[in-house]
A and B are shown apart, each in its own frame.
Chain A
Amino acid sequence: MHEVVIISGKGGAGKTSITGAFANLADNAILCDLDVDAPDLHLLLSPEHKRIEEFYSGNEAIINQEQCTKCGLCEAMCRFSAITQTDEGFAVDPMRCEGCNVCVSFCPPQAISFPSKHCGTWYESETRFGTMVHAQLFPGEENSGRLVTLLKQHARKRAEEEGHELVLSDGAPGIGCPVISSLAGTNLAVVVTEPTLSGLHDLKRVAKLCTGFKTKVAVLINKHDLNLAQAKAIEEYCQEKGYPVICRFPHDNAVTEAMVQGKAINETGDSTASQLLEAAWSNMLNLLHDSK
């Protein structure tokens, strides 16, 4: 089985639109949205939930006012400035609490409870392109890396059960926790980039991260014709690093129009876009098979 994740470093480069188009081309894949913080793939794939599971991760400190002796040790020991004195006594700010257990462990009268935290929901769904595994972290929550790992494990399991050869995932932006979790065990990262100064800057950082994880990198330049000089700079960088460029996709309002209609780019009858994406898909499959 292979695992491919579409990432970009930067948000808004077109990861989800590309993933949607690839999902349309994949006839033997489990689909997965690993951007648990701001998932968008469901807007293109209109999934029908078959399984809904709550996601619990970590714990949250809560001070019981009746037991609290107001000694202030919790506030002094909290490294996250999550505990403050209010009119009603000491209180934990859930937005700042990391669930580290320090205040709970050191509280002399044991006045702090530590319930587990409901952080989000994950789903297994049916879409017109096959099974999709996805989630929504509650706004403001953390532990997205753990949720990403959980989704990947579930997607892998479904792929094995259903005899699929590929797990195709839409990744998260950035290079932090969720992306690191996305890359673990992944065979190929398709980095969607744009011909802009920031596009090249972000590509370099995320590609370095992939290399650190020994994940093979392929590059898709979106909005290729927006700035040909910047596109050339990206091509030169890719050549120097040995990253194959699998597609040069033009700046095209059809991408936004497809999004508004809730369709993949290659479902809207634009034959040039479809041909480019088919070529990208086949280039990507070749890279996958070569890597084995």
Chain B
Amino acid sequence: MIYAIASGKGGTGKTTVTASLASIWETPLTAVDLDVEEPNLHLFLKPEEMITGKAHIEVPDADEDKCTGCRACSELCQFKAITVMGDTLLTFPEMCHGCGGCIAICPEKALTPGKRELGEIVTGKSHGNEFIMGRLRIGEAMSPPLMKQILNDLPINSQGDVLIDAPPGVSCPAITAVMRADCIVLVTEPTPFGLHDFRLAWEAFSPIGKPMGAVINRAGVGNNDVYDFCREKDIPIWAEIPFDRSVAEAYSNGYVPVKAIPTLKPTFESLKNSMQKAVNEVSHA
């Protein structure tokens, strides 16, 4: 099963929750950091035997000698990644989404598959579990293509469950991260910012139709509006992590909270059970 830990808003504690769950989950498990813009999970899980590979997206290579200036490519392209100016065929690889349309449509075969580096995919081992993270190349605008490559290569079923640390927000990268999940855990905090972004996340992820539950982090700060919203929308609260400076301090040093603060263990065990139960109920329905 694939479990995605998402949040809407950044900084609510997705990575802390993912790292804590990974620490108590039955092996074999694959922990995946899909927050490829700012991956942090490795700072907590401290994987070893790391192997780094480059990830690419297909972009067109142009052969100007073959181009007759018919503009079929630039008329097809929706991303302003290819244009014909006078007699010159110009490509803008950074703008390309890799749809392959220009290469397919060119009657002169003046365009052939080339590549642009998206970033890196790093794999390793962490306490007997598999670890995978994407790291977007700095300057690369599009994170979903890198995320999709990681998702396509996941060892599903044969090697246990998958925990995904999703990127913040509710736009294309966050949707990409949760799209294949069997269960979505929404981490939020009981503040106006937390509620506002939690509401957006709920709106964005509900149509996917997967079981969804909330983790309320820093419980005790702010106000009760998040609880009211969960009641109103029938979102189960699977865990509450009390606001505690020692949790923040453990985090700041890169310690997994459930390991640094043993009293948190029952909270995460119960969260894990709720996640598994929610998925089982769906698969037996």
* Contact surface of A with B, Cβ cutoff 8 Å: 9-13, 16, 37-38, 40, 43, 58-59, 77, 79-80, 95-96, 98-102, 105-106, 137, 139-142, 144-145, 172-177, 180, 194-199, 201-202, 205-206, 208-209, 212, 223, 226-227, 230, 251, 253, 256, 259-260, 262
CA distance A57 to B48 in the complex (A): 43
Q: Do A175 and B138 contact each other (CB < 8 Å), given the known contacts A202-B40, A256-B191?
A: yes
Q: Is B221 an interface residue (CB 8 A)?
A: yes
Closest 3 CB pairs of A and B: A12-B11, A11-B10, A139-B204
Residues on the B chain within 8 Å of A209, using CB:
138-139
Which residues of chain B in 134-178 are interfacial with respect to chain A, using CB atoms and an 8 Å cutoff? 136, 138-143, 167-173, 175
Which residues of chain B are near A102, meaning CB under 8 Å? 76, 99-101, 104
- Tell me the B residues contacting A by CB distance below 8 Å: 7-12, 15, 37-38, 40, 43, 76-79, 97-101, 104-105, 136, 138-143, 167-173, 175, 179, 191-193, 196-197, 200-201, 203-204, 207-208, 221-223, 245, 248-249, 251-254
Q: Which residue of A lies closest to B199 (CB)?
A: A139
User: In the complex, are the beta carbons of A105 and B76 less than 8 A apart?
Assistant: yes
What residues of chain B lie closer than 8 Å to A77, measured between beta carbons? 100, 104
The CA-CA distance from A234 to B192 in the complex, in Å, is 29
Shortest CB–CB separation between residue A142 and chain B, in angstroms?
4
* Beta-carbon contact of B99 and A100 below 8 Å: yes
Complex Cα distance, B225 from A80, in Å, reads 38
Q: Give the distance to chain A from B53, nearest Cβ to Cβ, in Å.
A: 19
Q: What is the bound-complex CA distance between A199 and B10, given in angstroms?
A: 12
**B249–A59 touching, CB < 8 Å:** no
Indicate which residue in A98, A198, A208, A262 contacts B15 across the interface (CB closer than 8 Å).
A198
A40 to B10, CA, bound (A): 12
* Across-interface contacts of A37 in B (CB, < 8 A): 169-171
Do A38 and B170 have beta carbons less than 8 Å apart? Answer: yes
Known: A12-B9, A13-B10, A260-B222. 9 other contacts (CB 8 A): A11-B7, A11-B169, A38-B197, A79-B98, A102-B76, A102-B99, A140-B175, A256-B191, A259-B193
Least CB separation from B172: chain A residue: A142
Asked if B40 and A201 make an inter-chain contact with CB atoms under 8 angstroms apart, the answer reads yes
Question: A102-B76, A141-B172, A176-B141 are contacts. A43–B196 as well, Cβ < 8 Å?
Answer: yes
B141 adjacent to A260 (CB under 8 Å): no
B248 lies within 8 A of A105 (CB): no
A259 touches B191 (CB 8 A): yes
Determine the chain A residues whose CB is within 8 A of the CB of B167 once the complex forms. 174
User: A residues within 8 A CB of B203?
Assistant: 139
Distance between Cα atoms of A96 and B91 in the complex (Å): 25
- Contact partners of A10 in chain B: CB under 8 A: 10-11, 38, 40
Q: Given the complex, which residues of A lie within 8 Å of B37, measured CB to CB?
A: 9, 173-176, 205
Name the B residues within 8 Å of A95 (CB-CB): 175, 179, 207-208
Bound-complex Cα distance A91 to B150 (A)? 25
The residues of A that contact B138 with a CB separation of less than 8 Å are 175, 205, 208-209, 212
Contact of B11 with A13 in the complex, beta carbons under 8 Å:
yes
| B100: nearest chain-A partner, CB-CB | A79
Q: A136: nearest residue on chain B (CB-CB)?
A: B200
Contacting pair A195 B101 (CB below 8 A): no
A/B interface sample: 21 pairs, CB < 8 A:
A12-B10, A13-B10, A37-B169, A37-B171, A38-B168, A38-B170, A100-B97, A102-B101, A105-B101, A105-B105, A174-B168, A176-B136, A176-B140, A176-B141, A177-B141, A180-B141, A198-B43, A205-B138, A212-B139, A226-B249, A230-B252
